[in-house]
Amino acid sequence: MTAVLVINGPNLGRLGSREPDVYGSTSYAGLVERCTALGKELGLEVEVRETNDEGELIRWLHEAADGRTPVVLNPGAFTHYSYGMRDAAAQRTAPLIEVHISNPYTREEFRHTSVVAQIASGTIAGFGIGSYELALRALAEQLTNG
């Protein structure tokens, strides 16, 4: 099985209680369960991580680059301003898909800019927790078909 990291930035551990009208009612544990279950179906060994710490997220991206590990990345608020995270993601050695639960372009203007989008393999946004499932399916397709 191919190892895949699903990395989540700040506040995503609060899914289910954080603004359910925006982020839905699925808990973080539910997200982990859905990602790992779909991963098994797709032949992927999915590990889901979440941090509120920018430095830790950067270290995980370095780990992924060093291990040639594909990544599904929801940077959370770091999406809009973390050039350190962007530079770490740019070192990727395998596909990296940026994912967002909500559609940033339908929200506040500051959310319309992603520092990651230019270096990601692709971006999926606006499909709730399903955004992660779409990202994992796209990743599996990329890994299978190059």
- How many C-beta atoms lie closer than 10 Å to residue 38's C-beta? 16
| Closest residue by Cα to residue 115 from 132, 139, 90 | 90
Our answer to whether residue 100 is catalytic in this structure is: yes
Q: Which of 28, 62, 80, 100 is catalytic?
A: 100
Our answer to whether residue 23 is catalytic in this structure is: yes
What is the 8-class DSSP label of residue 71? E
Distance (Å, whole) CA 59 – CA 85: 9
- CA-to-CA separations, 88 to 8, 12, 75, in angstroms, rounded: 15, 20, 12
Q: Which of 23, 28, 62, 112 is catalytic?
A: 23
| Closest residue by Cα to residue 75 from 10, 142, 5, 140 | 10
Show which residues are catalytic. Answer: 23, 100
